[in-house]
Structure 1
Amino acid sequence: MSNINILTKIIKDKIMWIDIHKKKISIEYIKQNIQKTQFNFYKILKCTKKIFILECKKASPTKGIICKNFDIINLVNIYQKYSTAISIITDEKYFQGNFNYIKVVRNIVSQPIICKDFIISSYQIYFARLHGADAILLILSIINDEQYNILSNIAHKLNMGILTEVNNIQEFKRAINLQAKIISINNRNLNNFTVNINTTKNILSIYKNYIPKNTIIISASGINNHMQINQLNKIVNGFLIGSAITSQNNILLSIKKIIFGNNKVCGLRTIEDAMISDKYGSVFGGLIFTKQSIRYIKSIYAKHIIYNIPNLLYIGVFCNNSIADILRITKLIPLYGLQLHGNEDQNFINHLKKKISSKIKIWKTYKINNFIPKNNFFNIDLFVYDYYISGQGKSFNWNLLKNINTNNILLAGGLNIHNYSIAKNINCYGLDFNSGVETQPGIKDHIKIKKLFQKIRNN
C-alpha cells in the first residue's frame, strides 16, 4: 500500500465500520451490558518504576503481515510475565486485529488491556469496554480538543484509562493543555508511517520542563533494542513495544533482549542455575568446559541442563582447549556459540571455524589490564572484554573504553548488582555476570540473580 494518505483512508473506512456495527449491535444494548472496569489504569502505571506496554500486533498497512504465525494465546502467555499492560490492536482491515482478541486475553492475563484503535466515536469506547478493554488510545492527530474531552469523559465514566498519543510538538502541547495523564509519543508518523526514534528526544528536549509532575510519558514505535531503552530511560517513564517483538520467530528471546539486554550468566553448573537465569531475564548461559576452572562442568551435565532449560542461548567457554576437544563437545551439545578465553590465535580460529557448523558463533576474549589491545582478529562474531585475571570478581578500568565502539563487545569482569548501572551506560553489546552473582566461587546465588535482573528491568 502507498504511504501517501494512509491515515485518511483508515479514518474513512473507520467511519464505515462504525455505521455497520451500530446496526449490528446498538449502543443502547452495549450500555445495558457493560460495567466499569475494576482496574485503576493510572494507578497501576504510576506505581510501576519502568512501564512496558507490550502490543499484540499481527500486521500493518505498510509492512503487511508482521507475525506470520500469530498466536494470541501463546503471545500473551509470554507477555504477562514481563508487561505492565497489554495493548491489543483491534483494527481489522489495515492491521488484521480483532476485538475478540480482547476477550481471549482478558481470560488469561491479570494486567490491564488497552484497546488500540483509531477511535473517533463514543460507540467505539463502549464497544471496547463490551469486549473487556480497560483503557483506550486517543490519537490527537485524528480528533480535535472538543472531541477529546467528550471521548475522555465517556472513558473515565467507565473507569477506563486513556493513552493520549502525540507525534509532534503541537500535539504534545495540546495533550498538556488537555491535562492528559498518560502521553504516548509515537515515533511513527501516521501520515506516511515512517519511524524516527528521535521524535521522543526532540519533543522532550523542548518541553520537558513544562510537563506536569504526575504526567506519565511513554515512548512508542521504533523501540527494538535495549540500548534505545537505556538512552530514553532518563527522559520517559516507559515504552510501548509491538512489531519489534512480534516480527521475531522467538518471542521470548526478543522480549528479553529488549527489556533486559543481551546479558549472560556464566559458570552455570546446575539446572536450577539455568532455570533462575532464564526465568528472570538472561539471554545467554555460559558453560565452562575448561577443567582448570572451579566452574568447570562435565559435558554430560551440561547436556542435561540444556535439555531441561532450552530457552537460554548456551555459550561454551574454552580456555586453551584443543580443537578436537571443542569439536567433541559441539557434537554432543547444541551450543549457540563458543567463547575462546585463552591464547587461541588466528590460525586456531580459522581452523576451528572450518570444522564447526556455520550456525555456531565464535566469541573471543580479551584479557585487559592497563590498556585496550589492538584488535587484529577476524572470523569473530563477538568480543568479550574481561579483567586480565578471570573469575576474581574484579573489573578493569572501564574508562579505557572511552572513544571505542563498544557495539560488538560483551563486558565482563566483576559485574554485580552494585556496578551494573555504570557498566550499562558504556553501551556495550551486553553484560557478562559470573562471580558477582555467587555466594562463593562456583556456587550461584539465585537470590542475587533474581534481584539483579529485577533491578535491570526496573531502573
Structure 2
Amino acid sequence: MTTQLSEHITTEHTEMAEVLVKIVRDKHLWLEQRQQNQPLASFKSLLKPSDRSFYDALNTGKAAFILECKKASPSKGLIRDVFDLDYIASVYKQYANAISILTDEKYFQGNFEFIPQVRNQVTQPILCKDFMIDTYQVYLARHYGADAILLMLSVLDDETYQTLAQVAHQLNMGILTEASNEAELERAVALQAKVIGINNRNLRDLTTDLNRTKALAPKLPKGTTIISESGIYTHRQVRDLSAYAQGFLIGSSLMSEQNLEIAVRRVILGENKVCGLTRPNDAAQAYRAGAVYGGLIFVEASPRYTTPESARVTMAGAPLKYVGVFQNHTVEEVAQIAHELQLSAVQLHGNEDQAYVNQLRKALSADIAIWKAYAVSDQLPAPLAQHIDRHLYDSKVGQQSGGTGQTFDWQQLTQVEGVMLAGGLSPENAKEAAALGCNGLDFNSGVESAPGIKDTDKLQQAFQKIRDY
C-alpha cells in the first residue's frame, strides 16, 4: 500500500512537506514495529462495529464541536504539561459533540490507550486523530474503541484513501476527511466524503488563516458537513465562521488553558456574566447555566448591594471569575476590595475618567482587569482610550443607568471587539443579543424573580438561547 504527499503540497508547500514526509516515514517504521508487537490477527476477529455515530453526532442542527485531547504538537511543542485525561473528559462530556484524541506518539505524545480511558467516561463518539496510512491503523483504532478516524488528503493518494475508508465504514466508523487547499477539496468531493475538515493552517509556514474556511467552504456541495480546523480561539471567531461551517475542531487553544471549563465556555458560549449576585446558590446556578463571570455590586444605592463580607460568602458558591461593580469609589477603596476578594476584574459604573483609570491601573495588580461601563440613551458615549480591558454598554433611562431592565438600540454598536453588552437582557432576547458577536452578555434583572434573587429557569433558558446557533 503506497502513501504519497499530494502534488499541491510537494510543489507549493515544500518546507512543511519535508516535515510531513518525515512524519509519514516515521509512521511506516512505527507500523512495522507495532504490527510485530501487536499483530492484526491477535485482535481483528474480536472487533465489533462502532455503536456511536460520528455523523449523527455532528448533525444536530446546531454548530457542532469536536473538542480535542492534545498534549503536544510539532509546531507548539508541549501544550499541556499536566495531561489529566479524566479531568479533560469531565469537561468535554458537557459540551462536545465528539471528542478527538491524538494517538501519534512521536510528534504529539499521544497514545492509543488514551481512547478507552476517555471513551469509558463519555457518551460521545471518539475520533482517533493520527497519520493514517495503512488499514492496520484503522483496525487498531477500532480495537481501542475509536468511533471515527481522520484521513488527511495531504498524505494519502485516492486509492489508499478509498481502501482505508472502506475498512472504516465496514466497522461502522465515521471519517473526518481533511483538506488544506482547493486541490484536496476537489479530491474530497470526488471521493464522496461526508464530513470534510478544512484546515486553516498554512502547511508551508504553520500560520493559520481563518479566511481559508470562508474561501473553500462555498465550493463544497450542499449536504456536506464542513468542519473548520485550526486557529480557533474565540467565540467571535466561531460566530463568524458558523455561516460557513457546520462544526469546529478545537484543540490547542483549549489545551493551553489551565482552567479548561472556563476555556470551553469562552469559545462555545462567550464570556458571559450574571451580575447582581447576592447568594451562593445564585452563583452556583449562574455557573451551572454556563456563565464565566459573576458580578458583585458594591454600590449602596443598588437593590443588589453586597458588602465585601457577604460577597465572600456568595463567591464560595461557585468558581466563577468575579467582577466587582463600583461607582465613584476612591481608587483606594476599589483596590482594597479587589485585592481582598481576589477579583478577576473591577467594573466602573460612575463618572470615572481617564486620569482615574490611570491611577487605578497603578494601584491594581496586573492580573485584575478594568472594565468601564457606559450609560447609553440616544447615542453611544466615546469609550476611554487606555487601560480598559472591556467596554460595557448599559441602558440609561432618565437618570438611572444600569439595572433598568431596558435595552438600548443595539444598532449603535458598530464595534463589538472587547465589548460586553448589558441592559435588559433576558431569555427573550438572548439569542439576538448573542448574535451581535460581543465578547459577552451581562445578565441581571432579566434572569431574576425579584431584585437580587436569580431565577434558575430563566438562567437556563438564557444560556440555552445563547447556544442556539
Residue pair 2:431, 2:465 contacting (<8 A) in 1 also: no
What SS is found at the alignment partner of 2:168?
helix
Change (3 A) 1:126 1:191: farther
- Give the superposed CA RMSD: 1.9
Alignment equivalent of 2:434, drawn from 421, 424, 427: 424
- Specify the code of the residue in structure 2 equivalent to 1:104: Q
Quote the residue 1:341 is aligned against: 349
Alignment equivalent of 2:211, drawn from 198, 201, 216: 198
Change (3 A) 1:186 1:297: same
- Is 1:391 aligned to residue 391 of structure 2? no
Alignment equivalent of 1:88, drawn from 101, 106, 113: 101
- Specify the code of the residue in structure 1 equivalent to 2:242: N
Q: How far 1:430 sits from its partner (Å)? A: 2.0
Quote the residue 2:8 is aligned against: none
1:70-126 CA deviation, whole Å, 9 max, x = no partner? 222221221111111110011111111111111211222221111000101100011
- Specify the code of the residue in structure 2 equivalent to 1:435: S
> In structure 2, what is the Cα distance between the partners aligned to 1:3 and 1:180?
25
Q: How far 1:39 sits from its partner (Å)? A: 1.3
Q: Structure 1: which 5+ residue stretches go unaligned?
A: none
> In structure 1, what is the Cα distance between the partners aligned to 2:355 and 2:154?
60
Quote the residue 1:454 is aligned against: 464
Residue pair 2:280, 2:318 contacting (<8 A) in 1 also: yes
What SS is found at the alignment partner of 2:149?
strand
> In structure 1, what is the Cα distance between the partners aligned to 2:339 and 2:41?
67
Change (3 A) 1:194 1:340: closer
What SS is found at the alignment partner of 1:5?
helix
Residue pair 2:217, 2:226 contacting (<8 A) in 1 also: no
Change (3 A) 1:285 1:32: same
> In structure 2, what is the Cα distance between the partners aligned to 1:45 and 1:4?
31
Quote the residue 2:3 is aligned against: none
> In structure 2, what is the Cα distance between the partners aligned to 1:216 and 1:108?
26
Quote the residue 2:412 is aligned against: 400
Quote the residue 1:439 is aligned against: 449
- Is 1:303 aligned to residue 317 of structure 2? no
Q: How far 1:443 sits from its partner (Å)? A: 2.2
User: Which deviates more, 354-363 or 126-135?
Assistant: 354-363
> In structure 2, what is the Cα distance between the partners aligned to 1:295 and 1:286?
10
> In structure 1, what is the Cα distance between the partners aligned to 2:17 and 2:381?
51
Residue pair 1:412, 1:433 contacting (<8 A) in 2 also: yes
Residue pair 2:72, 2:78 contacting (<8 A) in 1 also: yes
- Is 1:168 aligned to residue 191 of structure 2? no
1:127-151 CA deviation, whole Å, 9 max, x = no partner? 1111111111111121122222221
Change (3 A) 1:347 1:201: closer
Quote the residue 1:126 is aligned against: 139
- Is 1:411 aligned to residue 411 of structure 2? no
1:300-336 CA deviation, whole Å, 9 max, x = no partner? 22101223312x1100111233445434533542211
> In structure 2, what is the Cα distance between the partners aligned to 1:430 and 1:87?
27
Alignment equivalent of 2:383, drawn from 375, 379, 393: 375
Q: How far 1:354 sits from its partner (Å)? A: 3.6
Change (3 A) 1:114 1:145: same
Quote the residue 2:226 is aligned against: 217
- Is 1:237 aligned to residue 246 of structure 2? yes
User: Which deviates more, 125-134 or 359-368?
Assistant: 359-368
Change (3 A) 1:35 1:190: farther
Change (3 A) 1:265 1:424: same
> In structure 2, what is the Cα distance between the partners aligned to 1:416 and 1:243?
33
Q: Structure 2: which 5+ residue stretches go unaligned?
A: 1-14
Residue pair 1:3, 1:62 contacting (<8 A) in 2 also: no
Quote the residue 2:32 is aligned against: 19
Alignment equivalent of 1:361, drawn from 365, 369, 374: 369
Matches within 5 A, 1:1-40: 3=16, 5-40=18-53
Quote the residue 1:352 is aligned against: 360
What SS is found at the alignment partner of 1:308?
coil
> In structure 1, what is the Cα distance between the partners aligned to 2:411 and 2:52?
47
Change (3 A) 1:400 1:170: same
What SS is found at the alignment partner of 1:410?
strand
Q: Normalization by structure 1: what TM-score?
A: 0.93
Q: How far 1:197 sits from its partner (Å)? A: 1.2
Q: How far 1:358 sits from its partner (Å)? A: 3.2
- Is 1:51 aligned to residue 64 of structure 2? yes
Quote the residue 1:63 is aligned against: 76
> In structure 2, what is the Cα distance between the partners aligned to 1:434 and 1:313?
16
> In structure 2, what is the Cα distance between the partners aligned to 1:132 and 1:186?
25
Residue pair 1:49, 1:237 contacting (<8 A) in 2 also: yes
Change (3 A) 1:331 1:170: closer
- Specify the code of the residue in structure 2 equivalent to 1:277: A
Q: How far 1:51 sits from its partner (Å)? A: 0.8
> In structure 1, what is the Cα distance between the partners aligned to 2:356 and 2:250?
42
- Is 1:269 aligned to residue 282 of structure 2? no
Alignment equivalent of 2:337, drawn from 319, 329, 337: 329
What SS is found at the alignment partner of 1:69?
coil
User: Which deviates more, 69-78 or 226-235?
Assistant: 69-78
- Specify the code of the residue in structure 2 equivalent to 1:326: V
- Specify the code of the residue in structure 1 equivalent to 2:244: I
- Specify the code of the residue in structure 1 equivalent to 2:190: N
Q: How far 1:260 sits from its partner (Å)? A: 0.8
Quote the residue 1:256 is aligned against: 265
1:283-303 CA deviation, whole Å, 9 max, x = no partner? 111011112111112322210
1:361-392 CA deviation, whole Å, 9 max, x = no partner? 22111111112223345333222111123212
Q: Normalization by structure 2: what TM-score?
A: 0.91
Alignment equivalent of 1:149, drawn from 162, 172, 179: 162
What SS is found at the alignment partner of 2:175?
strand
What SS is found at the alignment partner of 2:101?
strand
What SS is found at the alignment partner of 2:291?
coil
> In structure 1, what is the Cα distance between the partners aligned to 2:26 and 2:362?
57
